Amino acid sequence: MNYNKKTVSDIDVAGKKVLLRCDFNVPQDKETGAITDDKRIRAALPTIRYLLEHNAAVIACSHLGKPKGEWKEKLTLAPVAERLSALLEREVIFAKDIIGPDAQSKAAALQPGQIMLLENLRFDIGEEKNSPEFAKALADLAEVYVSDAFGTVHRAHASTAGVAAYLPAVSGMLIQKELEIMGGALEHPKRPFVAVLGGAKVSDKINVINNLLEKADTIIIGGGMAYTFIKAQGGSIGTSLLEADKVEYAREMLSKAAARGVQLLLPTDTIAAKEFSRDAEPVCVSTMAIPDDMMGMDIGPDTQKAFAEAVQGAGTIVWNGPMGVFEFPAFAEGTKAMARALAESGAITIIGGGDSAAAVEQLGFADKITHISTGGGASLEFLEGKELPGVACLMDK
């Protein structure tokens, strides 16, 4: 995968119509439809401002929710246009369709320094099917394509990959930052390179572990996925999360790590409980000997200390997935300790989106982290070393 892609600053956008793919898939209040968190809209502002200041006419587009090709009033992007307008302190013209007469006439009339927003891309079935006809109709609205929705680059949709067949395609500032920081960490990490992996399932992280075993100096495994590894070592894991069909794979990874000289760390003690519940009574036990009627819910204090020590002195740390059931306060200590250890490590620290990003922000350590990825699924596939269609389609430098 080539991460060295052309960006908005590598091309002349003055006087040009620019189709800008943003990620405006914002959380909304189920009753009122009000936007409850505009972080994703704010994340798009640097690229939008750059384009407007450099005299481009900006045609922004995004998906919202999963309308599956049907028109759903509650998934309209009208509230996003309103919020974007307030943030930019200028009018955002809103098209009531995507490639229909309203969008076409408004795009045709759009002047340099103006911005418009198309209606929800996924109202058209052609978007997720990456229909060439739909991609071509989108491309016909503009002269240049700028991709700035990192959360969607792992999907080959019309607006993330298809349009690049018809327009010169470059990255916006958000994607540029992801490629530079995450691409740099995977290709030329400052060593020692430590990967911290958590979350529920080994199956979600199989390719990540495989890829990182080739690159990392240390791999730390916590969360529900750790118990499959403990089982592979002959431990008793009680009623903890187990993927029985992945025990052999875990065994292979343990021997691959040993053969490559990669330190693979697993929890030695576990905060267990008799039931998966917010009010369950936490008990600290040995990870190799979890009682038959108990399940692991978090890493224990000795493990927290060992994992924290393992990241001290690291050059680069990548973290994806919480250490326990952090949404239950009694089982959040492991994730909290990991977040604190990263914040205090002095390393280049990268959080790979999703639950770990939420945990770091919730726990107040976000400002001490080098980079928090804006894409959950995309950052996971990035760590797997997969080619991301929405990046591969951009012009190389």
**Residues annotated as catalytic (active site), given as ranges:** 40, 201, 354, 377
Contact 246, 224 (CB under 8 A): no
Structure tokens at 27: 């959380």
- How do 193-197 and 144-147 pair as beta strands? unpaired
* Count of CB atoms situated within 10 Å of the CB of 327: 14
Q: Which of 328, 371, 309, 56 is nearest to 183 (CA)?
A: 371
Q: Please tell me the distance from the alpha carbon of residue 391 to that of residue 212, in angstroms, as a whole number.
A: 21
Structure tokens at 374: 């804006």
Q: Please tell me the distance from the alpha carbon of residue 390 to that of residue 1, in angstroms, as a whole number.
A: 12
Q: How many CA atoms lie within 13 A of 376 on its CB side?
A: 10
User: Cis bond leading into 192, ω under 30°?
Assistant: yes
Angle CA 390–396–397, to nearest 5: 135
Contact 156, 390 (CB under 8 A): yes
Contact 274, 294 (CB under 8 A): yes
